[in-house]
Amino acid sequence: MMWAAWWIWGAAAVVLAVAEVLIPGFVLLGFALGAAVVALILLVGGPLAVWLGGSIPMLLLVFAVVSLLSWLALRRWVGVYRGQVKRFDHDINDG
């Protein structure tokens, strides 16, 4: 089972983290954290890893839930600032 290999999820986390550095905006970092958590669960093992390793939908569900929660946390921490909308009151050609 290729999806149950921890190193694939780890590689996906690294690729998404690098993409976040190249394309800033704190969007891909949540997905990178989700993939890293799934990789860590599969690497450590235990009953949760055995349960998740046999089911692709459950792996994707854990990935999606952790990604969403981390994305929401990052958005609250560094995301949208209320009341800071960029407004242009003058033209660049105005003196």
Q: What would the two tokens of residue 22 be? A: 């190249």
Which pLDDT belongs to residue 54?
Answer: 73
Residue 34: burial class (beta carbons within 10 Å; 0-12, 13-18, 19+): buried
When pLDDT is cut at 50, 70 and 90, the band that residue 79 belongs to is low
Which pLDDT belongs to residue 1?
Answer: 59
Q: What is the pLDDT of residues 6-25, one digit of tens each?
A: 899 999 999 999 999 998 77
Residue 31: burial class (beta carbons within 10 Å; 0-12, 13-18, 19+): buried
- Residue 59 DSSP class: H
Mean pLDDT of 69-86: 75
59, 52 contact by CB (below 8 A): yes
Q: What is the pLDDT of residues 23-68, one digit of tens each?
A: 877 789 999 999 999 999 888 888 888 877 778 888 899 999 999 9
0.85 surpassed by pTM: no
Sequence ranges of the domains in the chain: 6-78
